[in-house]
Amino acid sequence: MKILENHPVENSLQINSISKYYIEVENKDDFHKLHNFILKNNLPVLVVGECTNIVMPDFFDGIVVRPLFNNLNINKNYVSVGCSVSWHEFVLKMIDRSIYGFENLSLIPGSVGAAPIQNIGAYGQDVSKLIKQVDCFNYEDGKYITLSNKECNFSYRNSILKNNNLIIYNIDFHTNNKKIFNLEYQSIDKYINANNVDVNNLSLKEISNIICDIRNLVLPDPKKVPNVGSFFKNSIVKKDEINTTYFKYDDLVLWQLDDQYVKVGSARLIELIKNDINTNSSVFIYKNHSLILITDSNASQADVLKFANTIKQKVFNTFNILLEVEPMVVAS
């Protein structure tokens, strides 16, 4: 186990962030040493993967834990994968072995271990549909626990694993060899029609390539442009409580959930008000996707949150809708 003091924490927003302690856990023996260290120091703990969904503080007065487990074992009906394997690399390996269900989740940044935390999803697929079980170490009580899919209590961008004391070190995924594609999502359908794609002869790899093409058109590469993906969730509100003084329902993207409630596309809300937002010098709304905040690599956590709050306030004043931040915001 490596314990580093006052160590930088790399993150995709490129906030200059330092942690009092930064610990790399490389095997299961390390977990007990880690548990003792945590008990002795009584500091806040933050488990990280690749930090593509975390807004880090400039200084974290606590212990950052980076578990490094790179195993990948394919069994008869499931595959066991270590938490630090890159999500996209893993998806490509599943595609190579003709295992279905992962292709729509191509190119989502980050590690395998973080995937169940917010139940990552895209283009009509959620990782919760693929997970068999999640192996964890509880750094508070020093015990191991395996959670079945059901016990993870997955929902839209959420699970029981969020804000927990658990370190996920391994995940078992179901392996499905039956040819079932999920091409219903609107932007996939649009791409297929626009490019005259013959859906009857598509391979898994070709679907993955289509997803990558679509994503590359609208999403910035976090290795080149600092960002954490969607900064706000879509809100669920009562339709008649939306303020329609400035914009009509038809101007918005609404998914009717029942008689009263609708899910509101946050990207469209921001699109409609973004010209009224004064940007500071270091944080901006991404030109191809209004839900994504990008920086010029010089932003602090405070700069990012201040800009996000300006957007939240403007959206609230215009539509009476309170946006909720999607990535984890870590206190200093």
Ligand X SMILES: Cc1cc2nc3c(=O)[nH]c(=O)nc-3n(C[C@H](O)[C@H](O)[C@H](O)COP(=O)(O)OP(=O)(O)OC[C@H]3O[C@@H](n4cnc5c(N)ncnc54)[C@H](O)[C@@H]3O)c2cc1C
Rounded distance, CA 282 to CA 302, Å?
11
Toward ligand X, which CB reaches closer, 60 or 100? 60
- Binding-residue pattern over the window 83 to 112 for ligand X, x denoting contact by CB under 6 A: x------------------------xxxx-
Contact pick of 9, 47, 63, 269 for ligand X (by CB under 6 A): 47
With contacts defined by CB under 6 A, name the span among 146-154, 174-182, 204-212, 219-227 that binds ligand X.
219-227
Strands (DSSP E) found in the chain: 2-8, 18-25, 45-47, 54-55, 59-67, 72-74, 78-82, 121-122, 125-126, 131-138, 144-148, 166-174, 235-238, 254-256, 261-264, 283-285, 293-295, 328-329
Pattern 237-276, binding to ligand X, x per CB under 6 A?
----------------------------------------
Among 17, 19, 52, 175, which residue sits at the site for ligand X (rule: CB under 6 A)?
52
> Of 317, 193, 315, 197, nearest to 252 (Cα)?
315
Q: Any contact of residue 82 with ligand X (CB under 6 A)?
A: no
Q: What are phi and psi of 242, to 5 degrees?
A: -70, 135
Task: Give every CB contact of residue 326 below 8 A, 6+ residues apart in sequence.
Answer: 53, 118, 157, 228, 229, 230, 231, 232, 233
Q: Give the angle 55-56-60 at the CA atoms, nearest 5°.
A: 155
- Span interacting with ligand X, options 72-80, 222-230, 242-250, 298-306, rule CB under 6 A: 222-230
Establish if 128 lies at the interface with ligand X (CB under 6 A).
no
Determine contact, residues 172/193, Cβ cutoff 8 Å: no
Residues 88 and 106 sit within 8 Å (Cβ to Cβ): yes
Which position among 219, 267, 269, 321 is part of the footprint of ligand X (CB under 6 A)? 219
Q: Does residue 222 touch ligand X according to CB under 6 A?
A: yes
The answer to whether 64 contacts ligand X (rule: CB under 6 A) is no
> What residue type is assigned to position 101 of the chain?
G
> Does position 55 bind ligand X by CB under 6 A?
no
> Shortest distance, CB of residue 50 to ligand X, whole angstroms?
4
Give yes or no for residue 117 binding ligand X (CB under 6 A): yes
51 is a site residue for ligand X (CB under 6 A): yes
**Binder of ligand X out of 90, 152, 229, 234 (CB under 6 A):** 229
Distance CA 1, CA 209 (A): 39
Residues near ligand X (CB under 6 A) are 12, 46-54, 67, 83, 108-111, 113-115, 117-118, 120-122, 166-168, 219-220, 222, 227-229, 328
